[in-house]
Amino acid sequence: MKNTRNIRTVIKSKPTIEGAGVHLQRAFGNNEVPMFDPFLMLDDFRSNNPAHYRAGFPWHPHRGMETITYVLSGDVEHADSMGNKGVISSGDTQWMTAGSGIIHQEMPRGDNHGRMEGFQLWANLPKSHKMMEPRYRDIKKNQVPEATLENGVTVKVICGKVGKHEGPVKGIIIDPEYLDVEIPAGAEFKHPTMRGHTVFAYVIQGQGYFDEKKTNLIANGSVCLYEVGDQVAISAANEPVRFLLISGKPIREPVAWRGPIVMNTDEELMLSFQEYQNGTFIKIKE
């Protein structure tokens, strides 16, 4: 018999300004380390006001971690120190492993109606992979399988597996799962999870019950972190609920984190910033 996970805590996202003046909602971040290990931060940059996102995230470095950007609506232009550039559009995902170091920019552009909807998740890298070669994985909307269950639940599988549907992102160090789930009113979604993995859900539309006992409705803009167990049981009440369900294997190492760089010690962190200042930060040239 599977042990259904109980809720450990629920956190309401908080308004934050990042980059060159991007208004966003932070679901969790530095204050929650190491509660969400291996994950460091989740930002929700949904807005219908271009003035809140157009300034974007100009050129900045990353080292020692991964950024996962998932776009629901609008476009995000990107470019980096390795010569990569392109656009992430509605339904696309970009999984960027900074590793030993990369300098890039991300500029949200919205859609024809001025709407920009997306999320950026930061995942840590273990000490053994902090200085690995940087890499990108661009996943287009048409590469992401969608599972439709008998009760009408739909699941976009970016990473992980739902039934016979397996996501296109594989070979990631923290063995993650990243699902976009929509449950119609009155329906339930049960999904197996790896014991020992950190599991959380972030509500992006409507509200629902995120535990088997249906203790409290959790609404749009809140993150639900789970206790240990073998599965989650989530249900909608009298309206649909949509959420991101994310999990990964904890790293359980010290975290030294300042801005866009995440290392294991303060000394490594100081060296990283020194290298950025003196021009030796990038180890892999284009």
Tokens 């000394």 appear where? 267
The pLDDT of residue 1 is above 80: no
Task: Tell me: pLDDT of 286 over 70.
Answer: no
Average pLDDT over residues 60-77: 97
Q: Is residue 267 part of a domain?
A: no
Least confidently predicted of 70-84, 120-134, 175-189, 229-243? 70-84
Cα separation, 156 vs 173, in Å, equals 21
- Inside any domain, residue 36: yes
Taking residues 155-166, report their average pLDDT. Answer: 96
Q: What pLDDT does residue 83 have?
A: 83
The string of pLDDT tens digits covering residues 197-208 is: 999 999 999 999
Count of positions (residues) in the chain: 286
* CATH number, position 48: 2.60.120.10
pLDDT at 136 (0 to 100): 87
Residue 191 lies in a domain: yes
Predicted local distance difference test score (pLDDT) of residue 85: 87
- Would you call the peptide bond into 34 cis, given omega within 30 degrees of 0 as the criterion? yes
Can you tell me the distance from the alpha carbon of 67 to that of 198, in angstroms, rounded to the nearest whole number?
Answer: 17
What pLDDT score does 81 carry?
A: 85
In a domain, 21, yes or no: yes
Given a cut of 90, whether residue 87 has pLDDT beyond it is: yes
pLDDT above 70 for 261: yes
Residue 283 clears pLDDT 90, i.e. is over it: no
**Of 42, 13, 11, nearest in space to 25 by CA:** 13
- H-run or E-run covering 232: strand 231-248
Q: What's the rounded mean pLDDT across residues 106-111?
A: 95
**pLDDT of 86 strictly over 90:** no
Average pLDDT, integer, range 135-154: 95
Q: Report, as an integer, the average pLDDT of 221-237.
A: 97
**Domain membership flag for residue 171:** yes
253, part of any domain? no
* Cα–Cα distance, 21 to 107 (Å, whole number): 11
The structural domain count of the chain equals: 1
Residue 172 lies in a domain: yes
How many CB atoms within 10 Å of residue 44? Answer: 21
Residue 122: inside a domain, yes or no? yes
pLDDT score for 285: 63
Count Cα neighbours of 109 within 13 Å in the Cβ-side half-sphere: 13
Domain that holds residue 83: 7-248
Query: Can you list the pairs that 153-159 forms with residues at least 24 positions away whose Cβ atoms lie under 8 Å?
Result: 153/181, 153/182, 153/183, 153/184, 153/187, 153/189, 154/181, 154/182, 155/179, 155/180, 155/181, 155/182, 155/189, 156/180, 156/181, 158/70, 158/93, 159/95
At 82 the pLDDT is: 82
For residues 248 and 40, is the Cβ–Cβ distance under 8 A?
no
For residue 284, what pLDDT is reported?
74
29-50 mean pLDDT: 97
